[in-house]
Amino acid sequence: MQIKSIECYPLRIPGHPYCGGHDTRKNTGQYGDYTTHAVYRAIYTMNAETLLVKITSDDGVVGWGETQAAITPHIVAQLVNELVAPGYLGQDPHDYAVLRDRAYDRLRDRGHDSGQYVDAISACDIALHDLLGKVHGKPVHQLLGGAYRQEIPCYVSGVPAVSVAEQADHMRRWQEQGFNRFKISLGYGVKQDIAHMEGLRRELGDEPTFLVDQHWVYDLNDSIRIGRAFEALGIGFMECPMDAEIFAQYGKLCAALDLPIALGEEFRTRYRFKERIDAGALDIAQPDIGRLGITEGMRVTTLCNAAGIPSAPHIGSGLAPYTAASLQVAAATENLFLLEFQPTQIAVSDEYFTPSIRPRAGAYHLSDLPGLGVEPIEDKIKEHRFA
């Protein structure tokens, strides 16, 4: 069996819910095709944008992959076509790890270990796992060694609102559906963040698990101040309070607090995780399978398992193959903390993919369908293919 073709589907689906973890009322203006935020430095999309990759074998089996490409997915598609596909075509898909590593090496002289080039490799890696699962009639988690669990506990991410009362009302509706773990996007100032979480505790009591994402806005001293207040409030973890590049500072933060510190969504290799593990610079790892791919993602979780660090795979902007790949890795991860649930992205996925993988009562439920367990409605996604 050989890889016969690789096709890219950069998608832009307009008019769908925004995925920034905060309310659109905090947006401040346009940056080309994208939008800026009042506090966060990153830009965001108001559409559902992503890149799907379709890999077909010479005997007609199709695998679908997806990377997290909410910004300029057509650029990632060009990287697949020009730099990744030439090394994959004509090769045996069972050699997925070798293919991934050789593609990674081909740009070693040119800044190869981060950014959209690795995203392009990761999309193809996920597609190969989907293809192989279909070839062997098994879900991907069985190809990874099996599932440690059939139900994958998750948290509701974002819960957009502009006030504590409004956010608490949204959470009560989720609680009625059996969800009681929530991640809140903050980073609006030391006093404001502490007051916000104190307010949610007053509104909802001690029962919910609260996680806080602060989008890289603080320095070490402010992170410690906030972290100590969050410890008293029983917060489950504090995510990315400081710039991820300064991992020596994260080592100091982890040493200063009992509150678990989570990070890793932007890392695209196991080497970045190993640096932080060796420095004692994270308590919970957040590998993003859309950025790592399944091969490198499993290497990361194995590395974290060996260090006694739980994994909480990150899921950001993307559709069903991205979420399904994350679900397969989470099932095969021994030391799992939680998996992220992006309601706005699942809502879009349900329109364009079958079957739905929407979690129920606080957990994703593992499927025994082959591959990733999801298929696009091709006629519908082609309507939104661009570039």
Q: Which residues of the chain fall short of a pLDDT of 50?
A: none
pLDDT of residue 24: 64
**Segments making up each domain of the chain, as ranges:** 3-142, 144-373
Q: How far apart are CA 253 and CA 141, in angstroms?
A: 35
Cα–Cα distance, 150 to 135 (Å, whole number): 22
- Whether a cis peptide bond, with omega within 30° of 0, leads into 355 is yes
Nearest CA to 261 out of 292, 305, 216 is that of: 216
Q: Does domain 3-142 have CATH number 3.40.50.300?
A: no
Q: What is the pLDDT of residues 169-181, one digit of tens each?
A: 999 999 999 999 9
pLDDT at 41: 82
Which CATH number fits the domain 144-373, given the four candidates 3.40.50.2000, 3.20.20.120, 3.40.50.300, 3.30.360.10?
3.20.20.120
Torsion of CA 287, 374, 53, 96, to 10 degrees: 60
pLDDT, position 335: 98
DSSP label at 152?
Answer: E
DSSP string, 274-306: HHHHHTT--SEE---HHHHHHHHHHHHHHHHHH
pLDDT confidence of residue 26: 63
Q: For the chain, give the percent of residues with pLDDT over 90.
A: 87
CA dihedral sign, ordered 303, 309, 314, 320: positive
First to last CA, the chain: 31
Q: Give the global pTM.
A: 0.96
* DSSP 8-state code for residue 139: B
Long-range contacts of 259-265 (CB under 8 A, 24+ apart): 259/227, 259/228, 259/230, 259/231, 259/235, 260/236, 260/284, 261/227, 261/237, 262/211, 262/237, 262/238, 262/286, 262/312, 263/239, 264/288, 264/300, 264/314, 265/240, 265/291, 265/314, 265/316
Phi, psi of 336 (to 5 degrees): -100, 135
